[in-house]
Amino acid sequence: MNLPGEVRSAPALEGTALVTGGARRVGAAIVRTLHQAGMNLVIHYRASGADARALAAELNLLRPDSALSLGANLLKADQLALLAAQAQQHWGRLDALVNNASTYYETPLGSISESAFDDLIGTNLKAPLFLSQACAPALRQARGAIVNVSDLYARKPLPRRAPYCAAKAGLEAITRVLALELAPQVRVNAVAPSGILWPIDDSVEEARQAEHLARVPMGRLGGAEAIAEAVRYLLSPAAGFVTGTVLAVDGGEGLL
Ligand SMILES: NC(=O)c1ccc[n+]([C@@H]2O[C@H](COP(=O)([O-])OP(=O)(O)OC[C@H]3O[C@@H](n4cnc5c(N)ncnc54)[C@H](OP(=O)(O)O)[C@@H]3O)[C@@H](O)[C@H]2O)c1
């Protein structure tokens, strides 16, 4: 408990973190938060190279040689392996992996294509598993941690999104399996947001936005920083005995 008047700052973090999909939106907030906490950042991107390079430049101005951007399509096994290797090489260590990259769009039953299934499962489940596998030796050496960014809809059914929900449910399952396999050296946890930012394609019109917010006890979207702070906690020494858990950051939506 803090004494009156005492301001306790968040615990400092050390080492290097790889954040997938780190150039924009939630990923960029995670990158900024971990950097501010003291970590060096590998900012992974696929199409958002300009944003990733700009973010790395901004962070390197604040602290020289503290950020690096690396491109990879996580659906391609060779690019994923190269990303893992390069992320470990630059600073000679890897302390944290944040599996944040994702795709999210409607796939109503009757029109689910194999390519959409492969994409949604590939980005949200297969890539986090194979990236964790590729990074595990370095993470074990560093006694590091993995945080997977899941979704409330891993546990709550969302119509027209069967592959996405299945992928996130799988992501939570591998969070628990890897927590067992990598203990005691590496902790593995997940964060499960609900509405944080509206989708990138503006596909949620105003009436549906209001409908969504009416279902959230906190009455608002969380904002990217809410996820970033949860990730920071799960990587911090304060969470040193926390592994295999899924931390809901959903404004209470999961309670209903
Ligand atoms: N936004 C929300 O309200 C919300 C709610 C619940 C859960 N979440 C979860 O929170 C995380 C972040 O959400 P977000 O809305 O910020 O995500 P997003 O904007 O939809 O996607 C994040 C990044 O994933 C990268 N990505 C997609 N396909 C890729 C591929 N094949 N290879 C490599 N990178 C790929 C993209 O990088 P490039 O731009 O570089 O291509 C994209 O910027 C996701 O895991 C999401 O499921 C978000």
- Write down the mean pLDDT value for the chain: 95
Atom 39 of ligand 1: nearest residue by CA position: 48
Percent of the chain predicted with pLDDT > 90: 88
pLDDT at 9: 61
Tell me what the mean pLDDT of segment 10-14 comes to.
81
- In the chain, domain spans: 16-249
pLDDT score recorded for residue 4: 53
With a 6 Å cutoff on the Cβ, whether 95 touches ligand 1 is no
* Buried residues in 46-62 as b, exposed as e (16+ CB within 10 A): bebeebbbebbeebeee
Residue 79 Cβ < 6 Å to ligand 1: no
pLDDT, average across residues 157-174: 98
For 185-227, the pLDDT digits (tens) are 999 999 999 988 887 776 677 888 889 899 999 999 999 999 9
Give the separation between CA 256 and CA 238, rounded to whole angstroms.
29
Asked whether 22 and 31 are in contact (CB, 8 A), the reply is yes
Give the pLDDT mean for 145-158.
98
What is the percent of the chain with per-residue pLDDT over 70, rounded to a whole number? Answer: 95
Q: Say how far apart CA 222 and CA 214 lie, in whole Å.
A: 14
Rg (CA), the chain: 18
Concatenated DSSP letters of 111-154: ---HHHHHHHHIIIIIHHHHHHHHHHHHHHHHT-EEEEE--GGG
- Token representation of residue 64: 């020289």
Residue with CA closest to ligand 1 atom 47: 102
Q: How confident is the model at residue 163 (pLDDT cuts 50, 70, 90)?
A: very high
Model confidence pLDDT, tens digit, residues 40-61: 999 999 999 999 999 999 999 9
**What pLDDT does residue 233 have?**
98
Task: Indicate the SS3 state at residue 96.
Answer: strand
Residue of 118, 136, 218, 124 lying closest to 179 (CA atoms):
136
What value does the mean pLDDT take over residues 102-128?
A: 98
* pLDDT given for residue 8 in this prediction: 55
Q: Which amino acid is at 58?
A: E
Find the DSSP H helices in 37-188.
Answer: 49-62, 77-91, 114-121, 127-142, 162-182
CA-45 nearest atom, ligand 1: 40
Mean pLDDT of 149-174: 98
Return the residue matching tokens 């008047």: 5
**pLDDT by residue (tens digit) across 59-71?**
999 999 999 999 9
Q: Which of 26, 31, 51, 158, when mutated, tests ligand 1's pocket best, judged by the most ligand atoms within 8 Å of its CB?
A: 26
Q: Given phi > 0 = left and psi -120 to 50 = alpha, else beta, which region is 17?
A: beta
State the average pLDDT over residues 65-84.
98
With a cut of 50, say whether residue 5 has pLDDT above it: no
Could you tell me which CATH number the domain at 16-249 has? 3.40.50.720
Closest CA to 223 of 255, 251, 253, 246: 251
Mean pLDDT of 163-188: 99
Closest Cα to residue 189, out of 247, 236, 128?
Answer: 247
The catalytic residue positions are 164
Residue 191 Cβ inside 6 Å of ligand 1? The answer reads no
**Confidence bin at 75 (pLDDT 50/70/90):** very high
pLDDT for residue 1: 47
pLDDT for 205 equals 79
Q: Is the CB of 73 under 6 A from ligand 1?
A: yes
Six token digits for residue 139:
């993470």
Residue 173 has pLDDT above 50, yes or no: yes
Neighbour-count burial of 16, counting CB atoms closer than 10 A to its CB (0-12 exposed, 13-18 middle, 19+ buried): buried
Q: Which two tokens stand for residue 76?
A: 């391609």
Ligand 1 site, residue 104, Cβ cutoff 6 A = yes
